[in-house]
């Protein structure tokens, strides 16, 4: 196990009806609120009016930034930054999924920075201050509700990049499983793939002797596998929605990478794909991850054997380690297919025209990943296998 | 799953040599420091001088309160409170195991309260303010390094009681596995039992549909079972000491009780035993827990079947659920015995003279526990089975 620091300052408020605490949770931070949300589904579900009621109850002055995109764009973030400056915003409230929260974080960092917010994604500047943010989560997926990371897309340059800071942890996040009852099937699927992929990135590590972190990761995967299918069968099943949400939060709240070197190469590759094609993140990950696994599993075979046996209950009797490992990878692909996620770039309309460019962008700062360091040739090989 | 709030404000700094960050971690809180420690083993190991060096480096003025007892006493806590008031203490640093940290917490709460600090344990007062504390942990056991709870013994009245507050979470806790290399065998054993018992209290719950919390609990137990024996074979094995420490922290840092109704009856009973006999907490728990299990397992048989299979790898083929459950309980007792923990009150010199008094005290506020609500008769039955 490596040394590490575990320090998560987000207050997670979980359960049915917890939106009723929103006013009281925001109150300490000020009265000028920027409300950030997405395509307007929160108006159809009635969540929007509940949130407005809460804000009214504390006498808040509310500005709104609707229309955050599934891959949130720099132009939209800049709109939010303008509002913050013009209206003296004191607190940003994100109501939505990971994209809305990520946009809110970038706005929070950009509002108090005199330069271009994109600087934070290219290490041209570090985040030294940020407006406080809070969230009401409506989708089990990114885990952005309990960490300090944000992913933003520059649509003009076709670049998708991350920024992060301890200052971007939400002050609170309200997670109410009933708010996810109306999440459409494809978004539920993408959320499931996203959560599992986050775990993969931190589970397939070369760091030795981390049994607890591995058990936690396996526990999250097993919970998602089981409850994901249940939530797809019945979207209004409280328990499976709740279990998915909790798993999604724990997959990205700092629990899994304590003392572990994580990989993240597949995320880097996926970002290059979805930056060009505006593909939902979960679809890109579903296509790529089993191919990454096949490309790297021999680098630490026993970890993949453990994965197959503990997560997928592969019976290892009379099989070689290689066979057991491949069976687990196959089970991963089969699960993704069973829940309706795509398996190839071709079926989402992506051909080989930009693979070279994606590979170049992916390794622009050098080889990526840590389980196996991937060169441009490795990335190209994974992309070709994904066609 | 029930609703819950997850909010842990402790910064955990984990790894070899992290004591070197102590000065910088304390600095924001002030210069008048109360250093609290136990029987002086930290002087033999050299930790004391490292800590003093760090405090000198930031120009701190240091008062000392050595001699915290294994079951920390109200009289000692009151001594610390006096020092805080007389010397205008701004920060309390606990260097030691759970008892030292618990004493520091009680001092932190008492120093800013005009009444008797014992009031906090009997719900006569709630903690509204407290001095900030930090810890350097030297023992894997109570988890006090990352929560807001404290257990104090009033030796005059033979009462052992708890207090707790969000305000008592340590601002930081330094956990360096090498600092536990010199922990004697019996204390390592008691720590193992303590950690496992904390998990039991939160794992054996009647709350339905909490698969993730259960997997986490099982993961902690498996990690402790495996690494506990390794640490006993070789006390200087970094990885097993590290894994034990991380498991101990997670067993009590708020991860397991999210959305789950915990039990805690066995802890209440043990507190009554050790308040009269000053028995190490871990020994009392090792004696009592398997007997609690036998007394209650039929209240939710399937949970004990799951425990046996997942934690102890009990082969259920051709066995009744009852047999499988009992095999897991037996495995628990066998493990405790194998690592050298006591199995009966008799072997630690306790006879039946005070069982009635213990049972009366245990249920003084009503039936205890939640997996099965225990009346005085239940408690007596468990105590008699433990003789």
Considering only CB atoms, B7 lies closest to which of A12, A15, A259, namely A12
The C-alpha atoms of residue B68 and residue B64 are separated, in whole angstroms, by 11
Shared-domain flag, residues A111 and A219 = no
CA distance A103 to A66: 11
Over residues B115-124, the pLDDT tens digits come to 999 999 999 9
Is B76 among the domain residues?
A: yes
Whether residues A201 and A260 fall in one domain? yes
CATH code at position B27: 3.40.50.1970
Residue A296 lies in a domain: yes
Give B166→chain A minimum CA distance, Å: 12
Residue B87 buriedness (CB in 10 A; 0-12 / 13-18 / 19+): middle
Question: Cβ separation of A227 and B211 shorter than 8 Å?
Answer: yes
Parent domain of B84 = 11-179
Percentage, residues of chain A above pLDDT 70: 100
**CATH code at position A363:** 1.20.1090.10
Q: In this structure, are B174 and B56 located in the same domain?
A: yes
Q: What is the pLDDT of residue B40?
A: 83
Q: If you average pLDDT over residues B277-287, what whole number do you get?
A: 94
Does the pLDDT at position B99 exceed 90?
A: yes
Within this chain, do residues A294 and A352 fall inside the same structural domain, yes or no?
yes
Looking at the fold, whether A154 and A192 belong to one and the same domain comes out as no
In total, how many domains does chain A have? 2
Q: Distance between CA B368 and CA A131 in Å, rounded?
A: 46
* Minimum mean pLDDT range among B83-87, B152-156, B320-324: B152-156
Which of B156, B179, B202 terminates a domain? The answer is: B179
pLDDT at A127 over 90: yes
- B289 and B271 co-located in one domain: yes
Of B179, B214, B237, the domain-final residue: B179
Q: What percent of chain B has pLDDT over 70?
A: 100
Structural domain includes residue A301: yes
**Residues of chain B contacting A17 with CB distance shorter than 8 Å:** 3
- Per-residue pLDDT, averaged over B71-99, amounts to 97
Q: Which positions in chain B have a beta carbon within 8 angstroms of at least one beta carbon in chain A? A: 1-18, 208-212, 215-216, 218-220, 222-223, 226-227, 239, 242-243, 246-247, 250, 255, 258-259
| Residue B6 domain-assigned (yes or no) | no
Question: Cβ separation of A15 and B8 shorter than 8 Å?
Answer: no
Enumerate chain A positions whose Cβ falls within 8 A of a Cβ in B.
1-18, 208-212, 215-216, 218-220, 222-223, 226-227, 239, 242-243, 246-247, 250, 255, 258-259
Phi, psi dihedral angles at B212 (to 5 degrees): -70, -45
B210 CB neighbours in chain A (<8 A) are 243
Give the closest of A14, A211, A216 to B4, CB-based. A14
Grouping H, G, I as helix, E, B as strand and the rest as coil, residue B384 is helix
How many angstroms away from the CA of B386 is the closest CA of chain A? 32
In this prediction, residue A85 carries a pLDDT of 98
Contact A219/B219, CB-based, under 8 Å?
Answer: yes
The mean pLDDT of chain B is 97
- Is position B91 within any domain? yes
Which chain B residues contact residue A220 at CB under 8 A? 212, 215
Looking at the fold, whether A212 and A337 belong to one and the same domain comes out as yes
Domain shared by A59 and A154, yes or no = yes
Any domain includes B5: no
Q: Count the neighbouring beta carbons within 10 Å of the beta carbon of residue B261.
A: 13
pLDDT-derived band of residue B278, with 50, 70 and 90 as boundaries?
confident
pLDDT band at B305 (very low <50, low <70, confident <90, very high): very high
A135 token code pair: 């969230």
Report pLDDT digits (tens) over A146-160.
999 999 999 899 898
Residue A151 and residue A216 in one domain? no
Nearest residue in B to A213, CA atom = B219
Do A209 and A228 share a domain, yes or no? Answer: yes
Give the three-state DSSP class for A64: strand
Task: With H, G, I as helix, E, B as strand and everything else as coil, classify residue B173.
Answer: strand
φ, ψ for residue B333, nearest 5 deg: -60, -45
* Local structure of B265: helix, strand or coil: helix
- Residues of chain B in contact with residue A1, where contact means CB-CB under 8 angstroms, are 239, 242-243, 246
User: Is A193 part of any domain?
Assistant: yes
Residues A278 and A158 in one domain: no
Size of interface A-B (CB pairs under 8 A): 112
pLDDT band per the 50, 70, 90 thresholds, residue B275: confident
Last residue of a domain, one of B163, B179, B195: B179
Does residue B47 register a pLDDT over 90?
yes
Mean pLDDT, residues B289-296: 98
| Complex confidence, ipTM | 0.97
Q: Which of A294, A265, A290, A268 is nearest to A345 (CA)?
A: A290
* pTM (2 d.p.): 0.97
Are residue B350 and residue B369 in the same domain, yes or no? Answer: yes
- For residue B1, being part of any structural domain is answered with no
């Amino acid at each position: 196990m490596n040394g590490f620091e575990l320090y998560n300052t987000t207050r997670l408020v979980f359960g049915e009806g917890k939106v009723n605490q929103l006013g009281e949770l925001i109150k300490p931070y000020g009265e000028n609120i920027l409300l950030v949300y997405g395509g307007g589904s929160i108006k159809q579900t009635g969540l929007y009016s509940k949130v407005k009621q809460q804000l009214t109850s504390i006498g808040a002055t509310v500005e709104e930034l609707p229309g955050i995109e599934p891959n949130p764009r720099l132009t939209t973030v800049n709109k939010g930054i303008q509002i913050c400056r013009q209206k003296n915003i004191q607190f940003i409230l994100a109501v939505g999924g990971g994209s809305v929260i990520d946009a809110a974080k970038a706005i929070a960092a950009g509002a108090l920075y005199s330069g271009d917010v994109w600087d934070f994604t290219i290490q041209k500047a570090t985040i030294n201050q940020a407006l406080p943010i809070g969230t009401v989560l409506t989708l089990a997926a990114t885990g952005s509700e309990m960490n300090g990371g944000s992913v933003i897309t520059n649509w003009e340059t076709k670049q998708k990049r991350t920024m992060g800071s301890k200052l971007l942890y939400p002050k609170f996040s309200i997670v109410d499983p009933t708010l996810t009852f109306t999440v459409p099937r494809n978004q539920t699927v993408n959320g499931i793939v996203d959560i599992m992929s986050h775990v993969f990135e931190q589970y397939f590590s070369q760091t030795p002797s981390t049994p607890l972190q591995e058990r936690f990761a396996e526990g999250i995967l097993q919970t998602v596998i089981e409850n994901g299918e249940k939530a797809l069968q019945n979207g209004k099943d409280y328990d499976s929605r709740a279990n998915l949400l909790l798993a999604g939060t724990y997959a990205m709240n700092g629990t899994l990478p304590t003392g572990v070197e994580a990989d993240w190469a597949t995320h880097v590759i996926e970002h290059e794909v979805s930056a060009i094609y505006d593909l939902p993140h979960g679809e890109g990950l579903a296509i790529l991850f089993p191919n990454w696994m096949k490309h790297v599993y021999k680098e630490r075979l026993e970890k993949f054997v453990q994965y197959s046996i503990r997560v997928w209950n592969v019976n290892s009797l009379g099989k070689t380690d290689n066979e057991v490992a491949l069976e687990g990878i196959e089970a991963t692909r089969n699960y993704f297919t069973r829940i309706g996620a795509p398996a190839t770039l071709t079926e989402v309309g992506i051909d080989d025209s930009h693979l070279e460019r994606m590979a170049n962008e992916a390794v622009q700062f050098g080889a990526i990943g840590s389980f196996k360091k991937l060169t441009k040739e490795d990335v190209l090989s994974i992309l070709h296998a994904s066609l």
